Amino acid sequence: MSSSIVIASDDPEVANVIVNILGKKDYFMLITNSKLQALWKLLNQELRCLIYDFELESDSNITFINIIKSVRPRLPIIVLSPDNSPEMIKQLTEAGIFYYALKPLIKDEMEQLIDAIDGLVNN
């Protein structure tokens, strides 16, 4: 049986890159561009990982992560964002995310991201 991963992204290009790389593995990926749909899928599926891609700085991003962590405290969350401000990194760390990748992703970062996902799903 394959492991399920939710990819929540407004950016179809980012989602496609992740799907193309992870699709070679035996993962079942649920892709959405809606926070509400991502939350619904998290509540109704046995998931191994959430990949959350957000473009703009917004308090709702941290709020969404906090809601997910309150519902599924052990679910690893990987965040992709162009925001590398100390405030954002501090908020994400406090929210308990598993991995943070600064966008745009370069090849080495993408390999690290895939290794992180493999580690989560296979353990």
Q: What is the CATH number of the domain that holds 108?
A: 3.40.50.2300
pTM of the full structure? 0.82
pLDDT recorded at residue 2? 56
- pLDDT tens for each residue of 3-55: 688 888 888 888 888 887 777 777 778 888 887 788 887 777 778 888 888 76
pLDDT: which is higher, 15 or 1: 15
Q: Alpha-carbon distance 35 to 43, whole Å?
A: 12
Domain boundaries, position 32: 3-122
pLDDT: which is higher, 39 or 107: 39
Judging by beta carbons within 10 Å of its beta carbon (0-12, 13-18, 19+), is residue 94 exposed, middle or buried? exposed
Which of 22-26, 37-41, 97-101, 103-107 has the lowest average pLDDT?
A: 22-26
27-32 sheet: strands from edge to edge: 27-32, 3-9, 47-53, 77-81, 99-102
CB 97 within 8 A of CB 79: yes
Strand boundaries in the chain, DSSP class E: 3-9, 27-32, 47-53, 77-81, 99-102
Q: Alpha-carbon distance 92 to 57, whole Å?
A: 12
Per the structure, the count of domains in the chain is 1
pLDDT: which is higher, 48 or 110: 48
